[in-house]
Amino acid sequence: MMYLDNSATTKPFPEVLQSFIKVATDYFGNPSSLHGLGMQAERLLTQAREQMARLLEVKPSEVIFTSGGTEGNNLAIKGVAWQHQQRGRHIITTAIEHPSVIEACKQLEQFGFQVTYVPVDERGIVSVAHIEQALRDDTILVSVMHVNNEVGSIQPIEQIGAMLKKYPKVLFHVDGVQGAAKLPLHLKRANVDLYTMSAHKFHGLKGAGVLYVREGVRLSPLLSGGAQEMQLRSGTENVAAIVAMAKALRLSIEKYRESYARLEEIKRAIIGRLQTIEGISVHTPLEQSAPHIIHFSLEGIKSETFVHELEKQHMYVSTTSACSSRKKAPSKTLLAMGIEKTRAERSIRISLSYEQQIEHVPIIVEAIEQAYERLKIVARGTK
Ligand X SMILES: Cc1ncc(COP(=O)(O)O)c(C=O)c1O
Residue 147 contacts residue 183 (beta carbons within 8 Å): yes
* 104 binds other proteins per the rule CB under 8 A: yes
**Closer Cβ to other proteins, 104 or 298, answer by number:** 104
| Piece of the chain touching other proteins by CB under 8 A; list 33-41, 115-123, 164-172, 289-297 | 33-41
Q: Report the Cα 30 to chain-centroid distance in Å.
A: 30
DSSP run (H or E) holding 116: strand 114-118
- 326 interacts with, out of other proteins, ligand X, none, CB within 5 to 8 A per kind: other proteins
**Closer Cβ to ligand X, 133 or 236, answer by number:** 236
Shortest approach of ligand X to residue 15 CB, angstroms? 21
End-to-end, the C-alpha distance of the chain in Å comes to 33
Per DSSP bridges, beta strands 315-316 and 209-213 are unpaired
**Closer Cβ to ligand X, 69 or 156, answer by number:** 69
Q: Which residues contact 23 (CB under 8 A, 6 or more apart)?
A: 44, 239, 240, 243, 244
**Closer Cβ to ligand X, 40 or 309, answer by number:** 40
Q: Which residue is nearest to ligand X (CB)?
A: 69
Helix ranges, the chain (H)? 14-26, 36-56, 69-84, 99-110, 128-134, 157-164, 239-274, 303-311, 322-325, 332-336, 341-344, 360-381
- 35 interacts with, out of other proteins, ligand X, none, CB within 5 to 8 A per kind: other proteins
Compute and round to an integer the Cα radius of gyration of the chain: 21
| Piece of the chain touching ligand X by CB under 6 A; list 158-166, 175-183, 345-353, 355-363 | 175-183
| Cβ atoms within 10 Å, residue 268 | 15
Question: Which residues, 49 to 68, sit near ligand X by CB under 6 A?
Answer: 68
* 175 binds ligand X per the rule CB under 6 A: yes
**Closer Cβ to ligand X, 35 or 166, answer by number:** 35
**Closer Cβ to ligand X, 180 or 375, answer by number:** 180
Shortest approach of ligand X to residue 118 CB, angstroms? 16
* 34 binds other proteins per the rule CB under 8 A: yes
Question: Which residues, 188 to 227, sit near ligand X by CB under 6 A?
Answer: 198, 209
- 178 interacts with, out of ligand X, other proteins, none, CB within 5 to 8 A per kind: ligand X
| Cβ atoms within 10 Å, residue 155 | 26
Per DSSP bridges, beta strands 2-3 and 90-94 are unpaired
* 228 binds ligand X per the rule CB under 6 A: no
* 38 binds ligand X per the rule CB under 6 A: no
- 149 interacts with, out of other proteins, ligand X, none, CB within 5 to 8 A per kind: ligand X
* 311 binds other proteins per the rule CB under 8 A: yes
- 175 interacts with, out of ligand X, other proteins, none, CB within 5 to 8 A per kind: ligand X
Question: Which residues, 74 to 113, sit near ligand X by CB under 6 A?
Answer: 98, 100
Binding flags for other proteins, 148-167, as an x/- string (CB under 8 A): --------------------
Please report the DSSP string for 159-170 in residue order.
HHHHHHTT-TTS
* 29 binds other proteins per the rule CB under 8 A: yes
Please give the torsion angle defined by the CA atoms of residues 90, 94, 100 and 103, in that order, rounded to the nearest 10 degrees: 60
From the list 37, 183, 269, 323, the catalytic residue is 323
Residue 189 contacts residue 160 (beta carbons within 8 Å): no
- 34 interacts with, out of ligand X, other proteins, none, CB within 5 to 8 A per kind: other proteins
In DSSP terms, 348 is beta-bridged to 296
Shortest approach of other proteins to residue 346 CB, angstroms? 14
Residue 326 contacts residue 315 (beta carbons within 8 Å): no
**Closer Cβ to other proteins, 257 or 328, answer by number:** 328
Question: Which residues, 6 to 25, sit near other proteins by CB under 8 A?
Answer: 8-12, 17, 20-21, 24-25
CA-CA distance, 171 to 78, in Å (whole number)? 12
Q: Is 105 a catalytic residue?
A: no
Q: How many residues bind ligand X (CB under 6 A)?
A: 16
Q: How many CA atoms lie less than 13 Å away from 79 in the CB half-sphere? A: 28
Query: Comparing C-alpha atoms, which of 158, 150, 147, 171 is closest to residue 92?
Result: 171
Catalytically annotated residues: 323
